[in-house]
Every structure is written in C-alpha cells, then in structure tokens.
Amino acid sequence: DTEVTQTPKHLVMGMTNKKSLKCEQHMGHRAMYWYKQKAKKPPELMFVYSYEKLSINESVPSRFSPECPNSSLLNLHLHALQPEDSALYLCASSPSGASGGGGYNEQFFGPGTRLTVL
C-alpha cells in the first residue's frame, strides 16, 4: 500500500456540528501532517505529528483538534467551525520524524477532504 487515504471526500456541516476527518497510511511513515488549502492558494501547514506526538501546531484555532491514535491514523476533529473554514483539508505523511532522515523528508499527500461550512 503506497498511498495516503482520506475520508470523507466531501463534507458539509453546520456551524454547530461536530465532525471528524480521517487519514490513514500503511507505508510505515512516522510523521503525519494536516494542511488547509483555500481555492487558488498553496497548502498551509496546520499540525505535524512525529512518532505519534504533536510536534508542530501552527497556532490553529482550538475548534480544530488533531488526534493521532497510532502511527497509521490521523484524525482532525471539527467543532463550531466558521464559514471561512471551508477549504480542502489535506493529510500527508513522510518516512521519518523530525529528528530522522537528516531533515530530508519527502511528504506524500492524500486526495483531501473538501469541507463546506454553512
């Protein structure tokens, strides 16, 4: 298995809903990432998990809550989102954690979840 999978592909939610995005990889990668991508913009880093521990949090609002249950799974829990949070949410993984690989860490992306907040 050489890919990153994300579910669901599309999600529509109201501002009072609670939902979760899921990401999975079975490549034995030790780092996983969440990015947010608005239309016609580059991906923006949100969170990095290295060896199942949160290593980078880019000052993301608390309405986004990441979770890494094990080395293959990454979740993003969503609560009380705003319409401006509508975007493509991308998950990625890389072989090494922050201290491994000499810092050279190819990141492989999933197809994303298209989120619309009404």
Write out the residues near other proteins by the rule CB under 8 A.
Answer: 4, 31, 33, 40-45, 48, 50, 55-56, 90, 94, 97-99, 102-112
CB of 103 to other proteins, least distance (A): 5
Cβ distance to other proteins smaller for residue 110 or 117: 110
Return phi, psi of residue 75, to 5°: -115, 155
**Shortest spacing between CB 97 and other proteins, in angstroms:** 7
Q: Tell me how far, at minimum, the Cβ of 15 lies from other proteins, in Å.
A: 26
Q: Is 62 or 104 the residue whose CB approaches other proteins more closely?
A: 104
Is residue 113 packed enough to be buried (19+ CB in 10 Å), middle (13-18) or exposed (0-12)? Answer: buried
Cα(17)–Cα(76) distance, rounded to whole angstroms?
A: 14
Contact 51, 96 (CB under 8 A): no
Shortest approach of other proteins to residue 5 CB, angstroms?
A: 11
Strands 113-117, 10-13: pairing kind: parallel
Pick the closer one to other proteins by CB: 14 or 55.
55
Which CB atom, from 23 or from 81, has the smaller least distance to other proteins? 23
Give CA–CA dist 49/9, Å, rounded: 22
